[in-house]
Amino acid sequence: MARKILRINMTELKATYEEMPEKWARWGGRGMTSAITFDEVDPTCHPLGPNNKLVIAPGWVSGSPAAPSSGRTSFGGKSPLTGTIKEANSGGLSSQKLAKMGIGAIILEGTPKNGDWHMIYINKDGVDFLPANDLMGKGMHEVDKILWERFPNKPAVIGIGQAGEMKLSNAGISVNDPENNPGRYAGRGGMGAVLGARGVKAIVVDDKGVNAIEIVDEELFKAGRRKLTDSIQAHDLTKRDGALNSYGTDVLMNIINEAGGLPTRNFSAGQFEGAAKISGEMIAEMVEKRGGGMTGHACHPGCIIQCSNIYPDEDGSIIASPIEYETAFALGANCGIDDLDYVAKMTYECNDIGLDTIESGNTVAIAMEGGLLEFGDKVGALKLFDEVRQGTPMGRIFGQGVEATAKAFGVHRVPTVKGQSMPAYEPRAIKGIGFTYATSTMGADHTSGYTIAPEIAGVGGKVDQLTDKGKADLSLTFQAATAFIDSTGYCLFIAFPILDIPEGWAGMAETVAGVTGMKITGEDVIPLGKEILKMERLFNERAGFNEQDDRLPEFMRYEVLPPHNVVWDTSDEELDKVYAWVHDGSN
């Protein structure tokens, strides 16, 4: 059965399965959400208004048998945080279930006439619009629990906490994990507010009794799958008991600190004296010592990397899952907080209320710089989250993220690009990631072009972190490869082994070719990625963005960052090389 478009109109409360149009048939994941957003969303629309849409898409290989680590779901539309096009993707249960139901994308559009909130239930028999009255005002832990009690077959639950209900610009979209916890977030860019603007509290996806997965060339798919799986299992980073499996992404805390690129106390230093206390090694030590938690946790079925964790309290009860590097940086180092238990408690709050942890931690840091509380005040920081849950005026400002909070508190050191705050790598100390932050179609985002791999980790080559020479090309290559991988349904972390192991790179492309029947090889990864980037870039231009928006914040140009004692001194001309090809016909 060919993949279908499921169009859900919330004005009419009508759901229609449509044939997949030719123009979208070649896309999956991010390629799909960006193509549909490009074709159907007016770039000048208000992100929370009636003309924005939320597009939800599994990847090309999602749901295919034993495709390793392939449970990512893409959520796209126009972002209320950045005003740009956005794709945020998440692990959890939804990707494989949507794919098995034959859904290439859900297009959620319209707004209920009377302001009612709904819960949408999708199964093999159709689509039901159910009242969400009993779910309103509830956090995602409770919502997930209620919906698993109400619906059998352990369905995927896509939903929003109170932040999404309030349509706050930092509201994420939660997807439940295999244990029905809400720690999997399409967090960045406020897509939870876009779901809220459609009057939808939750979407339940029950794939029981249907498997519409089609594989055009089974042999090619299997051959590619073997190469990809072998490379993931062979690489020191992603193999069983390797660094990611043993310590999670927070294994980076000590390393980035050593590299002098760990943003600390609202991006005022590149090292944090408390880094070791909030590191992945410390998470593993706490899990071992306290019992009750785990490392090596899978965020979706079929993941063979298993980099997630469940962080326990002193008595072995669970505080939160997962503690990522980004989470520990934002809620820890960047706030001057070196207490992992408090990082975990704030992570719980983010997961429950439905907030992106990166933007949230950075917003706490802004509030600290603005004098609302002291750096390191973990108790005060934790209380801020309850303000959001309660919807107090302070909470609503906080829930808008870094830029709004900086304005409210008169802070001029604002680490954002296109309205979105920077993740866990200081661009003054690691130049290539600065190119990505500046030029990404998504605002400041590390995942959109992870030059950290060669700049710090020695993965996919090794380059000097402090030079900007060659970084425009490096960033573009990573941005294009990422746009492709974000379209596959694979976790972006497969990039690390396949950057070092060419057979894995080819294998990834072969799995996509095998499933879809498209004639693509490893050689096509970058060109296809660039096609996606071009759609996104053009959408942004039509929304009013230009090169002047591809800049890092002013304070980074004059404020010296220790320990390397460097500023951001890359010229605008150098930054503009990254996307020059969109209009000069060079590609």
Partner 1 sequence: MRVEVRVFATLRRYLPELGIGEAKIVAVDPGTTLDQLRESLGIPKTEVKIIMRNHLHADFDDLINDGDRITYIPAVAGG
The contact set with partner 1 (CB under 8 A) reads 235-237, 241-244, 246-252, 254-255, 258-260, 275-277, 279-282, 285, 307, 324-326, 423-425, 446-447, 450, 452-453, 456-459, 462, 464-466, 493, 496, 563-564
Identify which of 95, 176, 107 has the alpha carbon closest to the alpha carbon of residue 354. Answer: 176
Q: Decide whether 218 or 236 has the Cβ nearer to partner 1.
A: 236
Task: Check: CB of residue 248 under 8 Å from CB of residue 307.
Answer: yes
Identify which of 28, 75, 71 has the alpha carbon closest to the alpha carbon of residue 512. Answer: 28
Q: Decide whether 281 or 547 has the Cβ nearer to partner 1.
A: 281
Q: Decide whether 61 or 244 has the Cβ nearer to partner 1.
A: 244
Residue 400 beta carbon to partner 1: minimum distance, rounded to whole angstroms: 24
Residue 65 beta carbon to partner 1: minimum distance, rounded to whole angstroms: 27
Identify which of 31, 80, 25, 27 has the alpha carbon closest to the alpha carbon of residue 52. Answer: 80
Residue 413 beta carbon to partner 1: minimum distance, rounded to whole angstroms: 23
Task: Check: CB of residue 55 under 8 Å from CB of residue 73.
Answer: no
Residue 516 beta carbon to partner 1: minimum distance, rounded to whole angstroms: 28
For residue 73, what are its two tokens? 């779901």
Q: Decide whether 207 or 455 has the Cβ nearer to partner 1.
A: 455
Could you tell me the strand order of the sheet in which 294-297 lies? Answer: 294-297, 308-312, 318-320
Q: Decide whether 64 or 238 has the Cβ nearer to partner 1.
A: 238
What DSSP string runs through 61-117? STTSTT-TT---EEEEEE-TTTSSEEEEEE-SSHHHHHHHTTEEEEEEE---TT---
Specify which residues 205 forms β-bridges with.
122, 156
Residue 428 beta carbon to partner 1: minimum distance, rounded to whole angstroms: 13
Identify which of 1, 502, 520, 492 has the alpha carbon closest to the alpha carbon of residue 221. Answer: 520
Q: Decide whether 135 or 243 has the Cβ nearer to partner 1.
A: 243
Q: Which helix (H) or strand (E) holds 6?
A: strand 4-9
Q: Decide whether 286 or 506 has the Cβ nearer to partner 1.
A: 286
Q: Decide whether 362 or 405 has the Cβ nearer to partner 1.
A: 362
Residue 231 beta carbon to partner 1: minimum distance, rounded to whole angstroms: 13
Q: Who contacts 21 (Cβ-Cβ below 8 Å, separation ≥6)?
A: 5
Inter-CA distances, 274 with 172, 345, 564, Å:
28, 18, 19
Task: Check: CB of residue 92 under 8 Å from CB of residue 159.
Answer: no
Residue 189 beta carbon to partner 1: minimum distance, rounded to whole angstroms: 17
Cβ-count burial of 408 within 10 angstroms (0-12 exposed, 13-18 middle, 19+ buried)? middle
Query: Locate tokens 């339940």: which residue?
Result: 204
SS3 174: strand
Residue 156 beta carbon to partner 1: minimum distance, rounded to whole angstroms: 25
Residue 458 beta carbon to partner 1: minimum distance, rounded to whole angstroms: 4
Residue 392 beta carbon to partner 1: minimum distance, rounded to whole angstroms: 33
Task: Check: CB of residue 250 under 8 Å from CB of residue 279.
Answer: yes
Q: Decide whether 4 or 564 has the Cβ nearer to partner 1.
A: 564
Q: Decide whether 80 or 248 has the Cβ nearer to partner 1.
A: 248
**Sequence letter at residue 116:** D
